[in-house]
Chain A
């Protein structure tokens, strides 16, 4: 069975500090991983996917198959980054996502 674990429910940092939101997964196949974000009073939306190897809003995430991790990082946090972040794993058929429990990021001024 596939599983996604986000060990921190809440992460609080000061503006300008580096941020790392942790995500670990368990999956027997070749994983496809995503980060979704939900800002206050907005709908859940895709932030980035590992296959794109892109940087969105200054965030990056690298898939580490050896450590089965897909941590989300940003070198300098901004107040507008405050949101709920979910890591998600796709199954082999690509038709289902398994989400982690979410991490609430609070960036203090």
Chain B
């Protein structure tokens, strides 16, 4: 059974802080994804990675960066958090050609 875990369920940060969101998957999946989930807007892709040290911008990469040093771990970084980055952040992983994505439980980030 695929397991995707995220480091925190709830996080509160101040404006201007550097924020790290961590995601780990245990199924050796090549692809990993970061989304933000907002009411009425659905899920929007921030970044994805198709292999270690490889990354691609999604639809809304501004204000975010990512790091993938190991296959199982994909980090989302907010260099200087802003209030408009208050959201639910979902991590997902996917294996090869099968299009099913497996999601983590989410991190609800509040920036004050």
Contacts and interface: CB of A to CB of B under 8 A. Distances in A.
Interface residues of B, number: 23
Contact of B97 (A49, A94, A101): A94
A9 B97 CA distance: 31
A43 B105 contact: yes
Interface in B6-61: 31, 35, 40-45, 48, 50, 58
A30 to B, nearest CB: 13
A101 B42 CA distance: 4
Interface in A63-109: 86, 90, 94-102
Contacts, number: 46
Interface centre among A4, A6, A34, A101 (most CB of B within 10 A): A101
B48 A95 contact: yes
Interface of A: 4, 6, 9, 32, 34, 43-46, 49, 86, 90, 94-102
14 contacts: A34-B99, A43-B103, A43-B104, A44-B90, A45-B103, A49-B100, A86-B42, A90-B99, A94-B99, A95-B31, A95-B94, A97-B45, A97-B101, A99-B35
